[in-house]
Amino acid sequence: MSTATESRPISTYLFRRPRVRLFSLLALPMTWIVGVYILSLFLLLITAFWYVDPFTSLVRPGFTLDNFQAVFTEPAYISTSLRTLWIALAVTILSVIFAVPLGLYMAKIAPAWLRNALAVAITLPLWAGYLVKIIAMRLVFTEEGFFNWLMAPFGIKGPGFSMPIVILTLTYLWFPYMALPVYTAIRQIPTNLFDASSDLGARGFMTIYRVVIPLITPAIIAGSVFTFSLSLGDYLAARFTGGATQMIGSMIAANINLNPPMAAAFSMVPITFVVIYLMVARRTGSLERM
Amino acid sequence: MKRKKLAVLSLLSASVLILGGCSSDGDSSGLSIEVPDIPMHEAMGEFEGELNIVNWSGFVEPAWTDEFTAQTGCKVNPRVAGTSDEMVTLMRTGNYDIVSASGDAALRLIVGGDVQPLNIDLIPNFGGEIAEGMKGNVYDTVNGKPYGVPIGRGANLLQYNSDVTGGAPESWDVVWETDSPYAGKVTAYDAPIYIADAAVYLMYHNPELNIKNPYSLDADQLAAAIDLLKQQNSIIGEYWSDPVAQITSFVGGNTVVGTSWEILRKFAAKENLKTTLPKEGSTGWYDSWLVSSTTKNVNCAYAWMDYTSRADVNGAIAMNFGMAPANIAFCATSEKAQAHCDEFAAEDEEFFKQVWPWTTPIETCLDGRTDVKCTSFQEWTNAWLTVKG
């Protein structure tokens, strides 16, 4: 026995000192969370109360609520916030609409080889650079681009760079984050539940609505946290595929050099949206089951 | 706060000084602007061994920095910035010695005390054959003191797709009026300084607004320009700040008319894309070297300004970036140089007389008015962000 303890001096030391044990466990994550994450958020919040010297355009510490007032009163800011919220919701809904049937097919119908092939196909775009994918969408939907060329024989013309294309691009970007948790959740549903549902007289859609959806709601919420919050913060998709469409991110990006306190105040908007979203998600009880 | 009071005071004193009135051509003579008192470099000393430059893409290339480093021992560390606003932010970090600032960044840096006045005696190559229109402009010469060494200039032209428009549009109205035949296929420059383009249009079409200088707008004139920009917003296809996006937008057919630079048209390399200077005139960018007030490498900075003012080096920068060189002695050096100067109107002062050089708007009215306070760049910035909704 004594040989074993002697050969593990660190374990022995830690065993006797629970506080040190706790500290060594938490030191690294706490440094990260407090030192990098919380601190930078805090600095951001502080800056939102500062102002820019109108004479020299230099940022000056101080206290003003003008920036927040502008966020809530300036029509351009309000419409941009609402537009971004709507885009993020549309991306999330679109992702769910695509992910559920796909997940069902992959998990319950497709043969093993096809299931694997589809899983690879879903994750493959994650390997490509984010900017590359946005530029690809720009090229596809440009006036003389692939989409218009393909659709020309049918007399269909793309909408040009606009909000629908931004929604499509963001859905393309974030779809894997919805598809994978949904697929995994559907796979975990025992097949005999489908049989039972069918025995009780439910048809396909009724089974999806009454059995599948309730069981995979936690997965959908988990996926939607990604699709929703990532869409809220994005601005490159709007810049390259949105035409004149402005999102919260575009406003922050435009302000970051011109008026950093205003950018800081505006960045509170998506944070607020996400917090509200998470609170609503928690209400539904889905977060506990995640 | 103290500085603000100072600014108001200076405005008052300025108004006394310029009661005699001042020409509206952007000439700084007679216009007094409050700037922090920063000493200039008195005499050349030993080279420090390095030089940190904030520059536009294409201004600092091994093709001419190698010779400079061999001559002076100053190692050149360039940092490319994408916009004037980014340049100002970078210079304010204090990590850079010199910047190739356009006029809209220059005056901001001068007034903010971020750059120092220059001792022209230490730059022998400066002055010789600087293009007339680049001498002593308010963006780099304040209260008679020079702050910048000119590098080159270019106009913001109207680019059009001649397959769609037929001939050259005579007026900027195709990008401003909602009944434009190209509504939805219009592009505009994505920066607050673009407000001046609206002001140039209003100067011509709404004389009752009494705009004399597009960078010197009182609150009412700014509001009129913003209204015009909001009107334009409804016919905009895309705003551009990234040159590559602008080129692909024109080439891909999403944009038919809009603001452009001669060099972007050249890069697009399509026969049907052409540029013109409409009857209202336009704005333009005039770039100069400005030296940081906190630089540790002031001798290298002076050596760099002198070196790049040499006709051949200045010409090499101008050709590489695609602009009119400041030192027009370059034009006569070769046939190729002459062709470049002709293409970019380097010696054509009549052309550049129709171009208003980008200048940071400040509270002091640059057109000499003293009975009103003009809108500052910060007000332009805040107003600009309301345009795009």
Chain B residue with the nearest C-alpha to that of A247: B389
Contact A74 B386 (CB under 8 A): yes
Structural domains in chain B? 2-152+286-347 (3.40.190.10), 155-283+363-387 (3.40.190.10)
Contact B245 A259 (CB under 8 A): no
A142 interfaces chain B, CB cutoff of 8 Å: yes
Q: What is the CATH number of the domain that holds A278?
A: 1.10.3720.10
Encode A69-80: b = buried (16+ Cβ within 10 Å), e = exposed.
ebbeebebbeeb
A266 interfaces chain B, CB cutoff of 8 Å: no
| Contact status, residue B110 vs residue B293, Cβ threshold 8 Å | no
Of A240, A244, A258, nearest to B388 by CB-CB distance is A244
Inside any domain, residue A60: no
pLDDT, mean of residues B107-113: 88
- pLDDT by residue (tens digit) across B161-207? 999 998 899 999 999 999 999 999 999 999 899 999 999 999 999 99
Of B238, B387, B389, nearest to A161 by CB-CB distance is B238
Inside any domain, residue A167: yes
Contact A244 B111 (CB under 8 A): no
Written as six digits, the tokens of B11 are 């405005």
Which ipTM was obtained for this model? 0.75
pLDDT at B363: 84
Q: Partners of B141 in the beta sheet?
A: B146
Contact B111 A255 (CB under 8 A): no
Written as six digits, the tokens of B211 are 């705009």
Fill in the amino acid letter for B30: G
Contact A143 B253 (CB under 8 A): yes
Q: Chain A residues with CB inside 8 Å of B3's CB?
A: 53, 55-56
pLDDT, mean of residues B328-355: 92
**Number of inter-chain CB pairs under 8 A, A vs B:** 97
Are A40 and A72 part of one and the same domain?
no
Are A81 and A181 part of one and the same domain?
yes
- pLDDT by residue (tens digit) across B142-157? 888 899 999 999 999 9
Are A122 and A265 part of one and the same domain?
yes
Shortest Cα distance from A183 to chain B (angstroms)?
A: 37
Are A24 and A85 part of one and the same domain?
no
Of A77, A143, A258, nearest to B254 by CB-CB distance is A143
* Count of domains observed in chain A: 2
Residues 6+ apart with CB under 8 A from B36: B112, B113
Are A10 and A116 part of one and the same domain?
no
Are A173 and A37 part of one and the same domain?
no
Choice between A244 and B304, residue whose per-residue pLDDT is larger? B304
pLDDT band at residue A49 using 50, 70 and 90 as cut-offs? very high
HEC string of chain B equals CHHHHHHHHHHHHHHHHCCCCCCCCCECCCCCCCCCCCCCCCCCCCCCCEEEEEECCCCCCHHHHHHHHHHHCCEEEEEECCCHHHHHHHHCCCCCCEEEEEHHHHHHHHHCCCECCCCHHHCCCCCCCECHHHCCECCCEECCEECEEEEEEEECEEEEEHHHHCCCCCCCHHHHCCCCCCCCCEEEECCHHHHHHHHHHHHHHCHHHCCCCCCCCCHHHHHHHHHHHHHHHCCEEEEECCHHHHHHHHHCCCCCEEEECHHHHHHHCCCCEEEECCCCCEEEEEEEEEEECCCCCHHHHHHHHHHHHCHHHHHHHHHHHCCEECEHHHHHHCHHHHHHHHHCCCCCHHHHHCEEECCCCCCCCCCCCCCCCCCCHHHHHHHHHHHCC
pLDDT, mean of residues B272-299: 94
Are A144 and A13 part of one and the same domain?
no
Inside any domain, residue A122: yes
The closest alpha carbon to B28, from B145, B119, B128, B125, belongs to B145
Give the domain range for residue A15: 2-47
Are A106 and A26 part of one and the same domain?
no
B3 pLDDT exceeds 50?
Answer: no
Are A34 and A70 part of one and the same domain?
no
Contact A255 B385 (CB under 8 A): yes
3-class state of residue A272 by DSSP: helix
Inside any domain, residue A53: no
A75 interfaces chain B, CB cutoff of 8 Å: yes
A33 pLDDT exceeds 70?
Answer: yes
pLDDT at B220: 94
Inside any domain, residue A57: no
Are A186 and A264 part of one and the same domain?
yes
- pLDDT by residue (tens digit) across B287-313? 999 999 999 999 999 999 999 999 999
Choice between B114 and A57, residue whose per-residue pLDDT is larger? B114
**What's the whole-number average pLDDT of chain A?**
87
Are A104 and A145 part of one and the same domain?
yes
B30 pLDDT exceeds 70?
Answer: no
Of B111, B249, B382, nearest to A259 by CB-CB distance is B382
Contact A55 B376 (CB under 8 A): yes
Taken as a whole, chain A contains a residue count of 290
Inside any domain, residue A116: yes
Are A167 and A247 part of one and the same domain?
yes
**Least confidently predicted of A46-50, A143-147, B183-187:** A143-147
Inside any domain, residue A289: no
